[in-house]
Amino acid sequence: MQVATLDNIDSLADGLSNYLGKDQVNSVRRAYFYAQQAHDGQFRRSGDPYVTHPLAVASILSEMHMDHQSLMAAMLHDVIEDTGITKTAIKSQFGNTVADLVDGVSKLNKITFSSRAEAQAENFQKMAMAMAKDLRVILVKIADRLHNMRTLDVLAPDKRRRIARETLDIYAPIANRLGMNNIRVEFEELGFSALYPMRANRISAAVKRIRGNRKEIVSQIQTSLEACLEREELPGWTTGREKHLYSIYEKMRSKRKSFSEIMDVYAFRIIVDRVDTCYRVLGAVHSLYKPVPGRFKDYIAIPKANGYQSLHTTLFGMHGVPIEIQIRTEEMEAMANNGISSHWLYKASDDLPSNAHIRAREWVNGLLEMQKHAGNSLEFIENVKIDLFPDEIYLFTPKGQIFELPAGSTAVDFAYAIHTDVGNSCVACRISRRLAPLSEPLQSGQTVEIITAPGTQPNPAWLSFVVTGKARSNIRHYLKNQKHSESVALGRRLLNKALAGFGAQVDSVPKENIDAVLQQINLKSVEQLLEEIGLGNRMSYMIAQRLAAHGNVSSSDEQTESRNQDTLAIRGSEGMVMNYAKCCHPIPGDPIVGHISSGRGMVIHTDDCNNISDIRDNPEKCLEVTWDTEVEGEFSVELQVELENQRGIIATLATTITGAEANIEKISTLERDARFSIVNLSLNVKNRVHLARVMKRVRLIKPVSRVTRVKSRKVKKTIKHALGAH
């Protein structure tokens, strides 16, 4: 039904006069008439004049008691995009703040979260930037989306589904993160009905069917709760909570529960006057019905990240019926329903920002920090999705400071939550005063102490167990920078080695030669070129040839020969761009060869490794390398030990190896028969001399009959031979 739009602005203005001054209401009116004129002749799909949409958006914001600038921005939010009126024109009419808000919302309106992950991620980054400038931008956008969801029926089915999916994936979690529960629920219900109409109808019909049976039990429980409060002379009122369709569906899907299991739980909310009454009511209901152990949560003492506060408990009711109870004050109830918008709902003009506002601002700043460190937009959206759906645990520092992290977080996540530098230099942790592995998942209520050491750096293995976006993006950022500097250093050494054949060095090549080659291969700087060489994406000797071809140096046969004879020394400290092949496990002292592998850098193989025999003499793929006399580090090697079965022999073997200062990485046993076994060991040693010392000590163990070093290509054959197979 169409209503004359002027009546609507009048009725909106009447409502606004309850909390805004006369001048502010007039400013909102002026913005409305400006929008009406700008959108003149434009209509929505429903056939209504277009101006009904901005008016409805402003109306939603007025229910949140938003300030007059937000309401003006709501009236004008489509003007820049749809009518050709510029930001400058709005600025001259309504001032800088309103123009910036309108511009921010207009940019968000251009965002379409398409199914293509890359585009979606790029757009989310823009949204984070807009939120950072002014949080009201996202509130206007949420109100805009809410009105669009309420009028979704007029759209084509595929567009309806796309908008619903986007709302469930992006806008409902943002509303939740900002504590706006009422809007989150409406987003979820409308999105669910549009995306899965048949599922929504079936669950709705099932809820209606059992509502009659539930009514009696609900009123019985409610009566007993109210009688209990009266007996204890505690002020408060009780209300039964209906479960929403989408939350029923999500629980059925994620927890694999049947509809009847979910509907067997009865939920109530008790609203009281003060915080201390909350705890007294908790005591009263716990004496009325027995509480379910482990199901009590105190979100008053430790609020959720979005500012939500309440006491939660589950009771065994009459006939063993589970009852979920939330106890909170009226202010907490308003906060739970309106979240960040309750900052505007309750604040006086001279008030400082509320806790919700500060928390929301911290969250947005956290998003921006993640954006800065994320390598690309997909990595950013992956981190944000983790951040938007937290199942929280609460942890303490030794000084009693509280941190909230997603469930499954580890000490490394905790270290990065404290500060990026603490995370980067973290080496160990104490969980509730005991030394524990960094990868151990933390539990709510634990005290975590992070032990740091100067000069340490993040371990790539951490990426396999960290949970938070902040930890993941910071580790990746650090490793990326480290890999960059290591690949540049290796690239410089490789190019210098190749240029030596032309009697030159990188630093002695004329700048014009370098610029000409960079232009040819479409790279911007020498550093980029060196990185590409270090990562194995470009061949050093081919780049050297090009550099020489552009200059006055020419390569004689003698120089070519000297180039081939010149070898690169492996120091063991090259980092992530130097890899040691897992097929042949080269160690210092072994004759070796370097294989240039695209994206990985250089992979070192033993000279006789079967896996590179085909390309061994190809100068484009392989490089002559040797061990540096000062080589450092530990290198992996595999041993096979044949021994007689005896009690405690594995322990003796392990003690002997660690006594020879070698570290055991992996150990596995294969029984040959009742008397003999074969033990396969993966060890870390310094060089061949160290390995010889380890093998000598192992041979001295009485039950050991044979010790051999294994190259993977020979493992199967050796085991078959040892087992007497033909």
Write the CA distances from 175 to 143, 189, 201, 407, integer angstroms. 10, 14, 25, 21
Q: Which of 63, 67, 78, 82 is catalytic?
A: 82
- Residue 601, sorted as left (phi over 0), alpha (psi -120 to 50) or beta, turns out to be left
Alpha helices in 626-672 (DSSP H): 649-659
Contact 448, 393 (CB under 8 A): no
The DSSP bridge pattern shows strands 622-627 and 568-570 to be: parallel
> Active-site residue 82, yes or no?
yes
Element (H, E) at 285: helix 275-288
Residues in the chain: 726
Q: Is the dihedral of CA 424, 426, 431, 436 positive or negative?
A: positive
> What phi and psi, each to the nearest 5 degrees, are found at residue 303?
-65, 155
Contact 395, 380 (CB under 8 A): no
> What phi and psi, each to the nearest 5 degrees, are found at residue 494?
-65, -40
Residue showing tokens 């050709």: 84
- Strands (E) across 154-265 are located at 237-240
Cα 80 to Cα 341: distance, rounded to the nearest angstrom: 25
Describe the crossing of helices 117-133 and 96-109 by its angle, rounded to 10 degrees: 170
- Rg (the chain; Cα; Å): 34
**DSSP code at position 605:** E
Question: 498, 520, 509: which is closest to 547 by C-alpha?
Answer: 509
Contact 475, 463 (CB under 8 A): yes
Contact 336, 308 (CB under 8 A): yes
Kindly list the strands in the beta sheet with 663-671, ordered across the sheet, starting from the edge strand earlier in the chain. 663-671, 676-685, 635-644, 704-710
The pair of three-digit structure tokens given for residue 323, joined into one six-digit string: 């009852």
Q: Which of 48, 81, 250, 264 is catalytic?
A: 81
Using DSSP's 3-state secondary structure scheme, residue 665 falls into strand
Contact 462, 505 (CB under 8 A): no
Question: What does the buried/exposed string (b/e) look like for 606-636 if buried means 16 or more CB atoms within 10 Å of the residue's CB?
Answer: beebebbeeeeeeeebbbbbebeeebeebbb
Question: 258, 263, 217: which is closest to 243 by C-alpha?
Answer: 263
Q: Residue 422 class from Cβ within 10 Å (0-12 exposed, 13-18 middle, 19+ buried)?
A: middle
Alpha helices in 637-687 (DSSP H): 649-659
> Active-site residue 81, yes or no?
yes
The pair of three-digit structure tokens given for residue 451, joined into one six-digit string: 């032990």
Cα 645 to Cα 678: distance, rounded to the nearest angstrom: 9
Using DSSP's 3-state secondary structure scheme, residue 166 falls into helix
Active site positions, annotated: 81-82
